[in-house]
Amino acid sequence: MVSYYRINVSKDGIYLFATEQGQLTSKLRAKKVFDILKEKFRESEGYKVTCTYWESSGKDVDFDINF
């Protein structure tokens, strides 16, 4: 299972950048990065910083099974 936090930064509704997929896997680390970005990219200047938690899962494949 791959779970991670992705932080997005936009200005005046235009997407600027996001953290790399899979880099922020800890909630504590994501919060630290989020707080830094919120400080640097202030809402009063038109920026918006959001965080999304993503989950996905995988399944092992057994190729010895008859199809």
For the stretch 14-52, pLDDT in tens is: 999 999 988 999 999 999 999 999 999 999 999 999 999
**What are the beta bridge partners of residue 7?**
51
Query: Residue 12 — very low, low, confident or very high, per pLDDT cuts 50/70/90?
Result: very high
Q: Which helix (DSSP H) or strand (DSSP E) does residue 29 occupy?
A: helix 27-40
Q: Could you tell me the pTM of the whole model?
A: 0.79
8-36: burial string, b at 16+ Cβ within 10 Å, e else: ebbeeeeeeeebeeeebeeeeebeebbee
Contact between 3 and 56 under an 8 Å Cβ cutoff? The reply is: yes
Sign of dihedral through CA atoms 5, 11, 15, 20? Answer: negative
Domain ranges of the chain: 2-56
